[in-house]
Amino acid sequence: MYPAPPTERRVRYEVWLNTLCLHCQASLTYRDASGRTEQVTVSLPWTLDFSAQVQQFVYLSAQKTERIGEIECTIYLDGVPLKKAITTAPFGIATVSGAVPPVQVP
């Protein structure tokens, strides 16, 4: 008999600005571990780690506060990229989202 698959997964949100910029920031909107929507302005690079239940909706949106550069946001599950988005538009927004899938049991 196989053990039951885990009901939680490790989630990491990452936001990067791929340009030389001192004190670069981004405006973020994201769903936290409890499912609340948070809106913050942060210095880049930025990360957030938490545990999420299987089938929990995860969401990350990052808006550039500069005209230059390329902003990239990624959601990782257990260290593996789940979703990634990039924008180069001035003051552009990159958004990623999805449901946390169950662990595949062999």
What would the mean pLDDT of 77-83 be, rounded to a whole number? 96
Q: Is residue 15 in a domain? A: yes
User: Amino acid identity, residue 78?
Assistant: D
Predicted confidence at residue 66, as pLDDT, reads 84
Predicted confidence at residue 105, as pLDDT, reads 67
The boundaries of the domain holding residue 53 are 8-99
Predicted confidence at residue 106, as pLDDT, reads 65
Q: Is residue 105 in a domain? A: no
pLDDT in tens, 33-47: 999 999 999 999 999
Q: Is residue 104 in a domain? A: no
Mean pLDDT of the chain: 92
Cis amide linkage into residue 90, ω under 30° from 0: no
**Residue 2 confidence (pLDDT) above 90:** no
pTM of the model: 0.90
Closest CA to 56 of 40, 42, 75: 75
Domains of the chain: total: 1
Residue 43: which CATH number?
A: 2.60.40.2880
**Residue 77 confidence (pLDDT) above 90:** yes
Q: Is residue 59 in a domain? A: yes
Predicted confidence at residue 8, as pLDDT, reads 92
Q: Is residue 2 in a domain? A: no
Q: Is residue 88 in a domain? A: yes
**Residue 7 confidence (pLDDT) above 80:** yes
Instruction: State how far Cα 45 lies from the chain centre.
Output: 12
Q: Is residue 18 in a domain? A: yes
**Residue 1 confidence (pLDDT) above 90:** no
SS3 31: strand
Q: Is residue 54 in a domain? A: yes
